[in-house]
Amino acid sequence: MSKQLFYIEPFMRGNQHAPFNAAMLQVLQCVYPEAAVTLWCSPDHLLALKEQSPLSAQITHKPLNVPALQTANKIRWFYKHAAECWILTKLLIQAHSDAVDLVYFAFLSPPAQWLLSCYRVFFFKKCNIIVQLHGLELLKSSAQNKAVDRLYAWLLRNAFSRKRSGLYYIVLERRARSYLQEKQLIPPAHLLYIPHPYLFPQPVARQKSANVVTFVHLGVARLSKGSQHFFELAKQFKEEIAQRKLIFQVVGHLLPEMAPYVNSYVVYPKKGEMLPLAEYQEALASADYALFCYGTDSYELTGSGALMDAIAAHKTILGLRNPSFSEIFAIVAQPPGVLFDTLEEMEQYIRSIIHLKTPSQTDREVAFKMLQEHFGVANVAEELRIQLKRVLC
C-alpha cells in the first residue's frame, strides 16, 4: 500500500512562499515517489504554485480558508492566528483518522507551533509530523524588541521544550541548526537540515539598454532588511541617475514603514502589494546587479528567498557581509558577487562599475551553476532522504 502524505500550508496565501513550496513539493515526491500527496492550501496559493511549476498527478488539492493579512489590523491578525490554529487542529484529526504516514507543515506561526507541541503531549502521538522552520530571528528577541516579538520568542522556546517522539523540525541554514543545538532548544535527533530547495528555470534573455546599469532590490522593502539603505545609496548617485547612467529599482513592494525613506531616485511600484510573477521575472531579467543591504548582524537564522531569486537569474550579488550571505558564498570557490563590510565600500564599488568596465562574469557563471546544483531539487531530495532515514527508520 502506498504512503499517504499531507502537505499543509495553513498561513501563506497567493505568492507568499510559493517558490519554496513548489520546490519542496517536488523534493518530497522525489523522496516518496509512490506516495499519494494531499496538498492543503488556499486556492490562490495553489494558483501561485502552478505558476512556478505544473503539479504532479499524484497531488490532490484540498482548499483551505486562509485569511488574508491586513497591515496594522490587530483584530485581523488575531483572527488569522485563530484560523491557523483551527486548521492545525482539524487536519491533525483528519490525518489521525486517515492513518496518514507523514504530515508536513510548510509553515507554522509561533502560536500554532506552541499549540502543536501541547497536542503532542496527549494526542496524535503515532503520527509522524515535520514542521518547516522559517524566520528564527525571533529567538534572539531582547527587551528592546516589540512585546509581540518577545511573546513569539517565548512561544517558540516553550514549544521546543516539549519534544515528543515523531515530531521533527527542518531548518534551511546550517547556522540555524548550530544555534538551536548550542542553545539546547532542539536535540539533534529531532532536527533536520536541508539546503533551501528552489526550482531553477532557464534565465530569461535580457532586453535592456547597453549603456544603463541597473541595480535591483528584490522582494519586500522593509526596515528589517535594511531597505532604507537602498534608497540612501540611490541618493548618492542622483547625478548619474539623472544622466541615465544607472537605475535603482525595487522589484517587489514597499511596506508602509518605508514611507519616510522613499525618494525620487528609486523606481518602485506605487501599489502596496506583491508583483505578479511575470512582472517580477521580467524586471529581474533586465537587471545587472542584485543589491542587498541586509545588516551585517541580521539574517543569521533566516535564509533569503530574494537571494535565491538572484542566483536563479544569474545576477551578480552585491551585499553586506552577514552570516546568511557568507554561508552561501562559501559553498563555491568563485563567488557569485561581492560582499562588503560597510555601505561606504559598496558605494565605492558601484562607482567603479559606472566609471570602469563591468568585470568579467565568466567565473560567476560557474558559481551560479554550482549553486543551482546545490539548491536544486535532486540534491535537496537526496539530503532529505538521508536525514529521514536516520530519524524515521
DSSP string, 269-323: -SSSSPPPHHHHHHHHHT-SEEEE---TTSSSS---HHHHHHHHTTPEEEEE--H
- Please, where are the H alpha helices in 6-165? 18-31, 43-52, 74-98, 110-122, 147-161
Supply the pLDDT for residue 302. 66
Same structural domain, 188 and 292: no
- In a domain? residue 205: no
Q: How many domains does the chain have?
A: 2
Same structural domain, 340 and 386: no
Which residue type is seen at 11? F
Looking at the predicted structure, is the pLDDT value of residue 208 above 90? no
Looking at the predicted structure, is the pLDDT value of residue 210 above 70? no
Quote helix, strand, coil % in the chain, to nearest 5. 45, 15, 35
Supply the pLDDT for residue 116. 94
Same structural domain, 191 and 218: no
**How does pLDDT run across 98-155, given as a tens digit for each residue?**
999 999 999 999 999 999 999 988 887 788 999 999 878 777 766 556 788 888 889 9
**How does pLDDT run across 15-59, given as a tens digit for each residue?**
889 999 999 999 999 999 999 999 999 999 999 999 999 998 889
Supply the pLDDT for residue 219. 86
In whole angstroms, what is the distance from residue 122 CA to residue 334 CA?
Answer: 51
**How does pLDDT run across 315-341, given as a tens digit for each residue?**
999 999 988 888 889 999 889 999 999
Q: What angle do CA 29, 305, 82 make, to 5 degrees?
A: 75
Same structural domain, 55 and 137: yes
Listed in sequence order, the residues at least 6 apart from 208 whose beta carbon sits closer than 8 Å to its beta carbon are 214, 286
Same structural domain, 359 and 380: no
Which residue type is seen at 248? F
Listed in sequence order, the residues at least 6 apart from 190 whose beta carbon sits closer than 8 Å to its beta carbon are 163, 167, 168, 169, 391
Same structural domain, 370 and 380: no
- Grid coordinates of 307: 537571494
Poorest-confidence range of 85-89, 348-352, 361-365, 381-385?
361-365
Listed in sequence order, the residues at least 6 apart from 375 whose beta carbon sits closer than 8 Å to its beta carbon are 195, 196, 197, 198, 200, 308, 311
Which range of 93-107, 195-209, 216-230, 247-261 scores highest in mean pLDDT? It is 93-107
Task: State the pLDDT confidence band at 376, using cuts at 50, 70 and 90.
Answer: very high
Average pLDDT over the chain, rounded to whole? Answer: 88
Looking at the predicted structure, is the pLDDT value of residue 220 above 70? yes
Question: Burial, 264: exposed, middle or buried (Cβ in 10 Å; 0-12, 13-18, 19+)?
Answer: exposed
Supply the pLDDT for residue 140. 75
Q: How far is CA 174 from CA 147, 194, 295, 328, in A?
A: 28, 8, 19, 10
- In a domain? residue 97: yes
Task: State the pLDDT confidence band at 380, using cuts at 50, 70 and 90.
Answer: very high
In whole angstroms, what is the distance from residue 351 CA to residue 331 CA?
Answer: 28
Length of the chain: 393
Same structural domain, 344 and 383: no
In whole angstroms, what is the distance from residue 346 CA to residue 353 CA?
Answer: 11
- In a domain? residue 206: no
Give the rounded percent of residues in the chain with a pLDDT score beyond 90.
55
Quick one: average pLDDT of 203-212?
A: 66
- In a domain? residue 140: yes
Same structural domain, 254 and 336: yes
Supply the pLDDT for residue 298. 61
Using DSSP's 3-state secondary structure scheme, residue 375 falls into helix
**How does pLDDT run across 267-300, given as a tens digit for each residue?**
988 776 677 778 888 888 889 999 998 876 665 6
Supply the pLDDT for residue 171. 93
Q: What is the pTM of this model?
A: 0.88
- In a domain? residue 204: no
Looking at the predicted structure, is the pLDDT value of residue 61 above 60? yes
Same structural domain, 263 and 166: no
> What is the distance in angstroms between the CA of the first residue and the CA of the last residue of the chain?
18
Supply the pLDDT for residue 110. 94
Buried b (16+ CB within 10 A) or exposed e, 310-338: bbbbbbbbbbbebbbbebbbeebeebbbb
- CATH number of the domain encompassing residue 85: 3.40.50.2000
Same structural domain, 44 and 187: yes
Which residues constitute the domain of residue 101? 4-199+376-391
Supply the pLDDT for residue 22. 96
Same structural domain, 150 and 16: yes
**How does pLDDT run across 338-358, given as a tens digit for each residue?**
999 999 999 999 998 887 755
- In a domain? residue 208: no
- In a domain? residue 94: yes
